[in-house]
Structure 1
């Protein structure tokens, strides 16, 4: 009987669904999204990511968070163990506006929001100052590992 390799890493299977119910120029490709998700998820995951318009983003935020406006990203976690399962919804017009207002590239801002949402799926939060500092530090580290700028830099670059 063969001896299992104790140094072998666990299987990292990613089932990723990407839907563009709102289509626009410069939306990230599935390959880009997969890279950003992979940078965050620690093991097996089943994640659906959907890009929506302002009306749907507002409706989802109102229904699930009781806030009557469209927000940039919504996270819907279902399970964390043994497989991370959840949905992310990005309201594309809000993402575009924020990137422009903050002087960030659309790609960098979108990557940050997907990373941010993926951390929420894993249980990270930013309700307190301490939680926010820890989550922001994690986001900075992941972005840097991807060769992307600090999403919280004041100049946006």
Structure 2
């Protein structure tokens, strides 16, 4: 089950369509959907999590806590809508596209994809692009 939680004024306009898109991606990756929580928040909220839990004193757009068991995906995905908005401007894409990229990025990590090496990051980006195409052509 995918749930959307809000620690800021932001609210997804299309929770059902977004949830269906994420579920389809999970199945496409030969994984099973467990309890997945998206928490949309501010820079300050996510910065505090970054400092308290990861000892990183930086702003970020996403932090995910993976509780998956094998191929059954479980986790909490925190997303700073402020950071997503800034990144969308920097990358010259729409807010909706950048938000979708960040949302699917967290799921792809749970599916086992990494992004630390150049090769892994390239594969991750191609997977993101594939699912973004699915999202915005539907």
Q: Is this contact kept in 2: 1:58–1:69, CA < 8 A?
A: yes
Equivalent position of 2:125 in the other structure: 136
In structure 1, runs of 5+ residues without a counterpart are 1-14, 149-157
Number of residue pairs matched by the alignment: 133
* CA deviation profile, 1:12-42 (whole Å, cap 9, x unmatched): xxx1111111113x74432243134224212
Displacement of 1:95: 0.9
Equivalent position of 1:97 in the other structure: 86
In structure 2, runs of 5+ residues without a counterpart are none
| Structure 1 consecutive aligned stretches of length 4 or more whose deviation exceeds 6 Å | none
Q: Output the CA distance in 2 between the equivalents of 1:32 and 1:95.
A: 20
CA RMSD of aligned residues (A): 1.8
Q: Output the CA distance in 2 between the equivalents of 1:58 and 1:88.
A: 14
Is the counterpart of residue 18 in structure 1 residue 4 in structure 2?
yes
Displacement of 1:88: 0.5
Which has the larger share of helix? 2
Q: Is this contact kept in 1: 2:62–2:102, CA < 8 A?
A: yes
TM-score by length of 1: 0.76
